[in-house]
Amino acid sequence: MTKELFLEDSYLKTMTATILEIYPEAPGKWKLVLSETVFYPKGGGQPSDQGILFTEDWKGKIYQVLSQEGKILHYVEAATPPPSPGEKIQGELDWERRYLNMRLHSAGHIIDFALHLLKYELTPLKADHGKKATIWYQGVLNVDFRESLESKANTLVSEDLRFSTQFVSHDVLAKKALYIQPNLPTNKPLRMLTLETVGSVADGGTQVCKTKEVGHIRLLPIEVKDGTTLIRYSIE
């Protein structure tokens, strides 16, 4: 019911939307459903966006955005109750926070693409692109690959390759993607992320435009646990 503007353009920082629903959350706190949003809800390893919602005579702080039961809920803290459903409202992202999240998220994908280029056979399980950025893989390699992977990832950064996204059917994705995550819906278009000259994967998060925006990627010592490999990383 909410148009997800961040899926089309990760660089949109503001929007004007119509309030669709309001739920009380706690004293001074409400949950708002909007007709469209630039605010990314926590998910896919990427933290929630924050920012402000405002009208001419009202202002609220968005402290988290969650996707629950098909609705994108903007959790707002304000001195007075928000305007009513049907009214227009404006939103503005905390761009510094979002841009860091975008860079961390894209860095995780660059590492994953580098792993693929080096032909290391690990299967991605999940990822956390927050403060302690980590990618979990099924499988263990019998070589110390930290240095070669870090170097390959930073080569992709220095080549300043372009990320692009498009919506495709599950069939097209299955043909084009390097791998396909289990549990992807088969009955609706899926967003495919492509790194120029490298390959494509399914992805629903926000991404930088070109790899140089990420900056230098540093890999922490690789950890192995119960048949899984943990790759922790940071960006500078």
Which residues in the 144-203 window bind Zn ion by CB under 5 A? 203
Residues 6+ apart with CB under 8 A from 231: 111, 134, 135, 137, 149, 219, 222
Decide if residue 47 touches Zn ion (CB under 5 A).
Answer: no
User: How many binding residues for Zn ion (CB under 5 A)?
Assistant: 2
The reply to whether 60 sits near Zn ion by the rule CB under 5 A is: no
Q: Does 112 bind Zn ion (CB under 5 A)?
A: no
Q: Report the alpha-carbon distance of residue 98 to residue 172 in Å, rounded.
A: 30
List the interface residues with Zn ion, window 203-232 (CB under 5 A).
203, 205
- In the complex, the smallest distance separating the C-beta of residue 95 from Zn ion, rounded to whole angstroms, is 20
How far apart CA 207 and CA 211 sit, in angstroms, is 10
Q: Which is nearer to Zn ion, 206 or 229 (CB)?
A: 206
Give the Cα separation of 117 and 134 in Å (integer). 19
**Shortest reach from residue 151's CB to Zn ion, in Å:** 22
Cβ neighbour number for residue 19 with a 10 Å cutoff: 20
Q: How far is the CB of 212 from Zn ion (least distance, A)?
A: 19
HSE of 65, CA atoms in CB hemisphere, 13 A? 29
Q: Does 49 bind Zn ion (CB under 5 A)?
A: no
Q: Which two tokens stand for residue 108?
A: 């995780």
Measured from the CB of residue 87, what is the shortest distance to Zn ion in angstroms?
34
Cβ at position 205, least distance to Zn ion in Å: 4
Q: Which residues bind Zn ion (CB under 5 A)?
A: 203, 205
